[in-house]
Structure 1
């Protein structure tokens, strides 16, 4: 191998983001936009509870009611907006939704009163739930085959990278814990949403059903395997609630781990996802392989629950070591969930219906995230070790169910691809 060939090999081995063609591709602006948006979202989710309670002045009861109501609104918004995206164009719908969300967040610096704040929050959460599925529809419309899965994985890596930076910014804002600091958070998050919308204008247009003069009814509601996929994937999505609400409650009520442990676990999780997600996604290139990964994800997540359960009443270095061991297993399970989720949700989607299918898929995850705080509080704070074991059993059942769901979908696709019999007149002539 000469020097030139060696240089080409080294070039191919470099991470995608370090090569100019990564950013110049048609979906390159989506990578940039996602990275920018996630910085603002990372800061937002690090601070939003304290912002509502301390800066706006809501009571804990008002905050809980408002967030629950916003979650219900957001939960049902994905599929209708996804269908609209298929009809008029996913890029245009995503642009409009993100623009609205940015303006809604900025308005939080001006609105006053519980009902006004709740209305704005419902708009913010509605777009938050609907936008990811439509973004997948944009990417799916610009890619095909293995490139599609790789692009989705790269986008998630950008999301995680930006969220880590945003969380650090949110930590600084929480350190100051003043109204001007929370105003900076609002301006940052609103501004990154507007920047995302503007960057979308550089993304090529995806042809819509209207432009192709295709008229059809909603398809996903008649696709039974995909509906089951949505429900079972929602169960696996509870693993994200473990970090958001389950572990913080567990650390507080059942262990004597120091307060900084939760932050360290989240940073560890984010870094590992960024480094390894592309490798796991490549293993889910087909529906059968993705469904097998789903089984593994259920097993690994159940194992992480068992490890977390061993920290009950733990103190000192031992409990910290066990928590990091559980987090390491949990993160591997999350990687399998992400890889299998992309492989199944995209592989089981009809080619001209990415918007509505991804909107429906998001319904499962949105429902899980809405129910997670209450469910995990009851399981982990109330039931203790038994709660962890029950949660692990749910993961096992959901992962195993997705194996059969993937096979069911393949059979349905093969049945739909079978050629029809000869026309009636041909049969009569025969």
Structure 2
């Protein structure tokens, strides 16, 4: 360069394009597009569930006029039908695809939920209740298999944890709506609420169809997944894991059935603690469930997380038992501490169970395996109320100690099983 030539200025770096700030709502949603869509679908579904499940039993009794014992017997029979639906629904999901099977079952739920407003006899009540239970448990198995297909393997457990937090939010919102219906206590209000629940199932089916892409499978993959005997029923390790998880799933009936009855009948704690326990549980699960999935990447680690949860639930049983014969304020504090321990145990045990439910399954047959795993949970929820009322509550402190021992044994048993 000569003295007469002007100095060349270095080229200016291109201006950085500012990244648009995510709004407050957007920051709460997952960045994964599929999981974000599943979030909104889950919210719609569970708001409807919270509305329907809160009102159904009261509607059958107060509006349709069936006795409390009759309602309980019908729902027990329906629960048994639901238990039987998980395994065949999982196999159908492997054969025809998770999304078509789940959409068909959602359509059945929509029609049957709407049919409740037309019930005029005990026979029609029984048929509709059984169909709803079959479709519900079958759809649950197909949905779990769908998550295995549309979420990356390393994101399945965290994704399910996130959706479970959303589930608790949705059910809480639905329950608030149900409270307004219960306060009105009119046939028109119940009818409108049940029809809204039915419409939510139909809307969810459409949303799955439009918004959730499922990877295409070859004819060879379909044939391999659906031919021959059910592989999950021949997998002894998986069946044992399913049974151990079913034992720990008794905690759901403990918090929904056992704790309210214990508070009201066996302690001097304020009666509102029976409902307060559920609210505390729901809030803690919403906040903690995603965090509890950390460290579940490998089966051995997931088993340890499951054991931690089982032991915390066992401890909650012993704490809750101490509320008997305590002064009212002491009993309230003890119940609150027990509920907090149970919620911590719940998020850990569920995180570990989800990871093991996927990790111990054979690739290409997630429908069959999730059908078996969900059947174990369904059986636990069906038998739980009977076990809690006839064994735990009937024997007081000894009953709670036996339940705690069962939880602890299942937790240690899972780690021993996976270690093998």
- Scaled by the length of structure 2, the TM-score of the pair is 0.90
User: Aligned to 2:394, which of 382, 392, 395?
Assistant: 382
**Superposed displacement of residue 252, structure 1:** 1.9
Give, in whole Å, the separation in 1 of the partners of 2:369 and 2:29.
33
Instruction: Please report the RMSD computed on the Cα atoms of aligned residues, expressed in angstroms.
Output: 2.2
Aligned partner of 2:184 among 153, 176, 182: 176
Q: Name 1:150's counterpart in structure 2.
A: 158
Query: Which position in structure 2 is the counterpart of 1:187?
Result: 195
- Distance of 1:209 and 1:365 partners within structure 2: 31
Q: Which segments of 5 or more consecutive residues in structure 2 lack a partner in the other structure?
A: 1-14
Q: 1:15 to 1:279 in 2, by over 3 A?
A: farther
Which structure has the greater CA radius of gyration?
A: 2
Residues 1:239 and 2:251 aligned together = yes
**5+ residue gaps in structure 1?**
409-430
Match of 2:405 in 1: 393
The answer to whether the 8 Å contact 2:89/2:141 transfers is: no
The residue that corresponds to 1:26 in the other structure is 34
Tell me the TM-score normalised to structure 1 length: 0.88
Structure 1 partner of 2:47: 39
* Aligned counterparts, 1:28-427, within 5 A: 28-201=36-209, 202-208=211-217, 210=219, 212-215=221-224, 216-217=227-228, 218-408=230-420
Paired residue secondary structure (1:384): helix
1:16-58: CA deviations, max 9, x gaps?
A: 7635744xx1343322111111011112222222111111111
- Compared with structure 1, are the counterparts of its residues 343 and 206 closer, same or farther at alpha carbon in structure 2 (3 Å cutoff)? same
Following TM superposition, by how much is the alpha carbon of 1:220 offset from its aligned partner in structure 2, in angstroms?
0.6
Q: May I ask how many residue pairs the two structures share in their alignment?
A: 401
Q: Secondary structure at the match of 1:259?
A: coil
Query: Which secondary structure does the structure 1 equivalent of 2:223 belong to?
Result: coil
CA separation of 1:54 and 1:323: change in aligned 2, threshold 3 A: same
Deviation, structure 1 residue 283: 2.2
Give the distance between the partners of 2:138 and 2:222, measured in 1 at CA. Answer: 25
* Structure 1 stretches of 4+ moved >4 Å: 14-17, 208-211
- Note the alpha carbon deviations across 1:360-381, whole angstroms, 9 max, x for none: 0011110110011111011333
| Match in the other structure for 2:12 | none
Q: Is the 8 A contact 2:260 2:275 kept in 1?
A: no
Cα distance in structure 1, aligned partners of 2:73 and 2:337:
35
Alpha-carbon distance change, 73 to 30 in structure 1, aligned in 2, over 3 angstroms: same
